[in-house]
Amino acid sequence: MANKHLIISVEGREIALTQIQNEDYISLTDMVGKDKRASLVIQNWLRNKNTLEFLGVWERNYNPNFKGFKFEAFYNQAGLDRFAISVTEWIEGTNAIGIITKRGRGGGTYAHRDIAFEFGSRISAEFKLFLIRDYIRLKEEQYNRQKLEWNYQRFLTKVNYRLHTDTIRDVIIPKLQVGKDLQWLVYADEADLLNMAVFGQTAKQWREANPEQAKEGNVRDFANIIQLNVLANLESLNAVLIEEGRNKEERYELLAKTAISQYTRLAEQKDITYLDD
């Protein structure tokens, strides 16, 4: 679960958006307004029969652990004056995942975007329209930032790749005394050393596993931002190790350990993981 929050603004209200299992969840509490009425508005919406029908359909489609028998019990009571249900009762009773509650700072009731858009109708049709519009704007901005960052990291890997290949040319090829017609094999072998460390497969293995994508580029062209970042760092590191005279087996061991360490650390950076998802 990512704790990184983004904000969308609808009719002057700042509404938090977070990610859970790579899915966007929007704060229903913020949509209503953080006052004593917020929980009552959400609870009244939840006890509505049409609402429960919508939630039931959503959960059955996206939640394999949804307790349908408990849902039926709630649904059959909906519409009766005595029927009341809280968010917690709904979640615990049906094992629902479409609505969640968060405590502490930035806490409240959150719902998957599909459900949050539906809840927007409870406020007003205009509010729902503006909510969807600003959500789309936010995702477009996020995509553009991701594309810019990816292009920068891809450029950086190409710059470092030149440093990497120059070192191979100046150090490894003279030692191996490889003819010009076979030098490409040395470059390819060293490139695959990095591919194995970062992607866990050679360029050929990737092409065989992804024939359609291979028509448009190579494994590095389809890497994510974190992988490109690690790859750029390993290109520089491998150049240093080559100059130090380390053999291939020793270099791969160091490169693989470094790749795992850097990938783990970068994946923990919420700004990077949220952008890359």
Say what the pLDDT of residue 106 is: 66
pLDDT, residue 236, reads 87
Instruction: With a cut of 50, say whether residue 138 has pLDDT above it.
Output: yes
pLDDT(275) > 50: no
Q: What share of the chain has pLDDT > 90, as a percent?
A: 36
Given a cut of 80, whether residue 152 has pLDDT beyond it is: no
Q: What is the pLDDT of residue 192?
A: 92
pLDDT in tens, 66-99: 999 999 999 999 888 888 888 999 999 999 999 9
- Mean pLDDT, the chain, integer: 84
Q: Over 50: is that where the pLDDT of 170 sits?
A: yes
User: Three-state DSSP class for 255?
Assistant: helix
Determine the pLDDT at residue 133. 87
Nearest-angstrom CA–CA distance, 265 and 226: 10
pLDDT digits over 216-258, tens only? 888 888 888 888 888 888 988 999 999 899 999 999 999 999 9
Contact yes or no for 119/46 (Cβ under 8 A): no
Q: Is the confidence at residue 35, as pLDDT, over 80?
A: no
Q: Is 245 left (phi over 0), alpha (psi -120 to 50) or beta?
A: left
Cα dihedral value 192, 197, 202, 205, nearest 10: 180
Average pLDDT over residues 96-110: 86
Reported as a pLDDT band with limits 50, 70 and 90, residue 51 is: very high
Please give the pLDDT value at position 72: 93
3-state secondary structure 20-37: ECCEEEEEHHHHHCCCCC
Predicted confidence (pLDDT) at residue 150 exceeds the cutoff of 70: no
Q: How far, rounded to the nearest angstrom, does the alpha carbon of residue 181 sit from its chain's CA centroid?
A: 44
Q: Are 95 and 118 in contact (CB under 8 A)?
A: no
pTM: 0.55
Output the pLDDT for position 274: 42
Of the pLDDT bands very low, low, confident and very high (cuts 50, 70, 90), residue 146 is low
Whether the CB-CB separation of 124 and 41 falls below 8 Å is answered with no
